[in-house]
Amino acid sequence: MPLYKIHGGTDSLGDITDDFSTNANSAGPCPIALEALINTSRTAYPDPNYSALKELLAQWHQVSVERIVLAASASEFIYRMSALIAKQASNQVLGRAIVYLPRFCYSDYQTAAKAWNLVTSAVIQDANLIWACDPSTPFGENACSLSTLIDSLQAQQICVLDRAYDPLRLSGKCLLNQTQLDKVWQLWSPNKALGLTGIRAAYAIAPKAANSLTTELELLAPSWLLGVDGVSMLSSWVKSATQMWLQESLNCLREWKWQQLQRCQEMGWEIHTSETNFYCAKPPTSDLYLLLLQLRRSGIKLRDTLSFGLPGYVRMSVLAPASQIRLSQAWQSIYPPNEKLYAR
């Protein structure tokens, strides 16, 4: 049987008019990054060492350039780090390495563990590799007890902090201090914040004391990990004009989110609060799969959170008011007001 990986966004069912299923910045795409992509020449290879790009990212994060590790995408890094942990266990005759997964988390952590024969565990102290995400997915909230987790890390443990949604916080802030951040791998994938999820490029900041692991991760990567489009997007990410645009877009998203939450509540959906441009909701229906299929046929896509370990809910990205209205109209056509009680 073929393996189907569950993600939001484009699928085999045709065009999506209103895509609530991905966490891309719906106020995008960022015009600065888009212009850079349009003006990018695709007639030559990028620098295979990505020297200039690494320098830009290192300067922006105020870290040494040796700590920057590029990735084809956040998912690619997840698989490559899992492969490295499996390789270490094999070299040291440790048997199968152990990976810790949060109770609700991105499914690629689990599928990467399966691909590399890692044992999953709910006990942090036993794990060789620890995955964390802040803000979390699917909930979009501060990860619980993250500070305590990092402070209790053992010397041999590797912790990767996925920060994909940190640039899309609409409230709150990261509660970790710099000392704590310097103890973990920080994984960044700016394509979501820039509204350019079709461009696959990401990077990680290694902990201060991870030189050998950084080298091993680089060796596991193929040549030309990023194409010129990925280089262009990540180079644009650190520009002051891009960051100014991002902050302005967050103001827009805050207003849209308030409107969207109001509409969801009017539809009778149960809302789980978040700090980001996405949140979880529970539609009042006895057949969520059928509802999602009916909405998809009308051009509207929502993301079932079952793959995150949370049945019965959807993860919803904040979209513009026109998309919100179409969702409300589609819901009413499926469950007219006089039938809402039955739907519950």
State how beta strands 314-317 and 98-100 pair: unpaired
| Closest-CA residue to 94 (of 102, 106, 86) | 86
What is the domain partition of the chain in residue ranges? 18-23+242-343, 31-239
The DSSP bridge partners found for residue 169 are: 276
Say if residue 8's pLDDT is above 90. no
What CATH number matches the domain at 31-239, 3.30.420.40, 3.30.1360.70, 3.60.110.10, 3.40.640.10?
Answer: 3.40.640.10
Say if residue 100's pLDDT is above 80. yes
Contact status, residue 177 vs residue 151, Cβ threshold 8 Å: no
Tokens of 342: 């039955």
Peptide bond before residue 138 is cis, with ω within 30 degrees of 0: yes
> pLDDT band at 337, cuts 50/70/90?
confident
Task: Please give the average per-residue pLDDT across 122-148, as a whole number.
Answer: 92
Say if residue 128's pLDDT is above 50. yes
Task: Please give the average per-residue pLDDT across 214-219, as a whole number.
Answer: 94
Say if residue 166's pLDDT is above 50. yes
Task: Please give the average per-residue pLDDT across 142-162, as a whole number.
Answer: 92
> pLDDT band at 339, cuts 50/70/90?
low
Does domain 18-23+242-343 fall under CATH 3.40.50.9100? My reply is: no
Tokens of 291: 């509802």
| Closest-CA residue to 210 (of 60, 112, 63) | 63
Burial of 15 (0-12, 13-18, 19+ CB in 10 A): exposed
Based on DSSP, count helices (H) and strands (E) in the chain, helices before strands.
12, 13
> pLDDT band at 191, cuts 50/70/90?
very high
